[in-house]
Structure 1
Amino acid sequence: MTTAQRNYQGRMQRVLDYVDTHLDDELDLATLSQVAAFSKFHFHRQFSATFGLSVHRYVQLARLKRASQALACGGTPSVTSIAMDAGYDAPDAFARAFRQRLAQSPSAFRKSPDWSSWLSAFGPLDNARDKAMQIIFEKNDVTILNMPDIPVAILAHRGDRAKFRESTDRFRAWCKAAGLSPETGRSSFMVFRSEREPAAPEDYSVDLCVGTDRSIGTEDAPMKAGTIPGGRCAVLRYPGNSTNLEPAALYLYREWLPQSGEEARDFPIYARRQLAPVANVRAYEVVVDLFLPLK
């Protein structure tokens, strides 16, 4: 990356950091373009081109995420108060936006949060940050763990990545119906059996898995039972809920593995996503670990 590119991304990153720490302030186009030191006449297009969503949408989602966490805390603030803090003039407008995004009313979410829908709802925020972050991994970021055998239910996706969303939707729907959603404490896994972008798109191959020891029958199709085999693994934690773990995988294969003296075991690299509680509140963030099986 050139110096000019690093400078440009740094200015955009500054905007995201400013939004996160000034959610109670006026976050209009003029203010944020000044933070980035870009022309206000072009900034909205620059932001959308960089992050894949508009400035207004990013701010709205960031405030809605904070509101959802305030609801989940189970404290005393009323829904009206939380709605005002989120920038809505009336509770009904807040309720409509909340229900549209999270498929639950604010009161229902406060009583029993659906964290699976919550993860999906705020994915665009994670994706935006992922595009802005140029992550540099170091040797000390990798730990070696002895993993146990993990019984899982598997949905195998085989074919073009363009249809991968259909597989993930089926996988999430089955997990939710089976009581294996993230909020139950179950981890989900992705076993990468091909390159992220193979030469032939139809060769793309990934197993979507959820940890469970329950019996998987024919009525559960296309799910099937399986096991992620235990053993020694090099583990690299990814900072954020990224959908692109390629930079982390490249670091493990290109830099860490040749320097470590270790050899890869005959099982594909895989990722584990799980919900980790945020300290002192009833809210969660996603933790993503990448596992390279070792001999």
Structure 2
Amino acid sequence: MHYRQRLQQTLSYIGSHLQDELTVDSLSRQANLSKYHFHRLFSLTFGITPADYIRLQRLKRASYQLAYRSEIRILDIALENGYQSAEAFSRAFKTSFGQSPSSFRKLPQWQPWFDKYRALTLLREQIMKQKPGEIAVNTVFFAKRQVAVLEHRGAPELLGHSIAKFISWRKANNLPPKVSETFNLVYDDPHACEGQDFRFDLCAGVTGEVEENAAGVKLKEIPEGRCAVFRHIGPDENLRAGIEYLYGPWLEQSGEQLRDFPLFFQRVSFFPEVAEQEMITDVFLPLR
């Protein structure tokens, strides 16, 4: 476990330094391990080489920037993610996803992207299962919110299309996250339902009506009431461990009863504005 913890800290370091030159020497120093052993331990522990992990992380952040941050130039995205030129970035991106960066920006093909990152998702879930310590759960009173909602209905791997549409609607209506709270209503566990049955609402806080629009955004309400809440810091792939703890040991030990409203998230900070391991998500479970 001592070695595993040091290697997990290295993953956090990589996520915060994707624009830097990341070598075996520098990473082994971060892990306080000999460079002669670091590579073998990393690959054995996580089932992926350091170089492949770094490449996947850089391309993941670049994908989000291409799809959701149209104001950032492709050259700047390349440089921010450790590539020396737009050409080098384009070659690496197309090799991984079968689309050029400019093509992905116009019309992302999320299914091949999702398939590419499935192994990384499973890796993170496995790491979290072995993470020691309990999750701090509090009981709070949540004040009701009016929210503009885009309903995603369909496979989780196609959620990226709905996110892009919702971001465009928010920009057009001057509702960026800095001035409008961001929530997700989580109706289904993606691991426990058929892909086409998956339901997930993208929400932005509003104070007035939502006019009829081509995006299909509508007005809903998150009702007031008691909730159990815990703060998750890190990638979405790692949320599952906390949610299972909330529905399992915490609910049983607390003696609380559930209210007839779905689990929901409040997004406090976002990837790619912050590194994935620095994302902050508050997870709310409605209680009677």
Per the normalisation by structure 1, the TM-score is 0.61
Aligned partners of 2:42 and 2:48 also within 8 Å: no
CA–CA distance in 2 between the matches of 1:21 and 1:217? 40
Matched ranges for 1:75-86 at <5 A: none
Residue 146 of structure 1 corresponds to 141
Unaligned runs of 5+ in 2: 62-78, 90-116
Aligned partners of 1:233 and 1:293 also within 8 Å: yes
Matched ranges for 1:197-236 at <5 A: 197-236=191-230
Residue 179 of structure 2 corresponds to 185
Q: 1:50 to 1:228 in 2, by over 3 A?
A: farther
1:195 aligns with 2:174: no
The alpha carbon displacement at 1:21 in A equals 9.1
Matched ranges for 1:34-113 at <5 A: 34=33, 38=37, 40=39, 49=48, 53-55=52-54
- Bigger drift between 245-254 and 195-204 goes to 195-204
Residue 151 of structure 2 corresponds to 156
**What SS does the aligned partner of 1:197 have?**
coil
CA–CA distance in 2 between the matches of 1:294 and 1:171? 29
**What SS does the aligned partner of 1:185 have?**
coil
CA–CA distance in 2 between the matches of 1:158 and 1:61? 24
The alpha carbon displacement at 1:167 in A equals 1.2
Q: 1:167 to 1:57 in 2, by over 3 A?
A: closer
Q: 1:59 to 1:13 in 2, by over 3 A?
A: farther
The alpha carbon displacement at 1:87 in A equals 8.2
The alpha carbon displacement at 1:20 in A equals 7.6
Partner letter of residue 138 of structure 1?
A: E
Residue 103 of structure 1 corresponds to none
The alpha carbon displacement at 1:247 in A equals 1.2
The alpha carbon displacement at 1:138 in A equals 2.9
CA–CA distance in 1 between the matches of 2:133 and 2:20? 34
Q: 1:156 to 1:221 in 2, by over 3 A?
A: same
Residue 76 of structure 1 corresponds to none
Question: CA offsets per residue over residues 170-219 of structure 1, 9 Å max, x none?
Answer: 1122122222222x232211111112223422211111111112321222
The alpha carbon displacement at 1:224 in A equals 0.5
Question: CA offsets per residue over residues 58-114 of structure 1, 9 Å max, x none?
Answer: 58999xxxxxxxxxxxxxxxxxxxx9xx9899xxx69x98xxxxxxxxxxxxxxxxx
**What SS does the aligned partner of 2:257 have?**
coil
Partner letter of residue 37 of structure 2?
A: F
1:291 aligns with 2:287: no
CA–CA distance in 1 between the matches of 2:133 and 2:218? 35
CA–CA distance in 2 between the matches of 1:250 and 1:198? 13
* Percent pairwise identity: 32
The alpha carbon displacement at 1:272 in A equals 0.7
1:171 aligns with 2:170: no
CA–CA distance in 2 between the matches of 1:201 and 1:128? 17
CA–CA distance in 1 between the matches of 2:51 and 2:25? 20
Q: 1:244 to 1:220 in 2, by over 3 A?
A: farther
Q: How many residues align?
A: 232
**What SS does the aligned partner of 2:48 have?**
helix
Residue 102 of structure 2 corresponds to none
Q: 1:148 to 1:23 in 2, by over 3 A?
A: closer
CA–CA distance in 2 between the matches of 1:270 and 1:191? 4
CA–CA distance in 2 between the matches of 1:170 and 1:46? 38
The alpha carbon displacement at 1:151 in A equals 0.3
Q: 1:193 to 1:43 in 2, by over 3 A?
A: closer
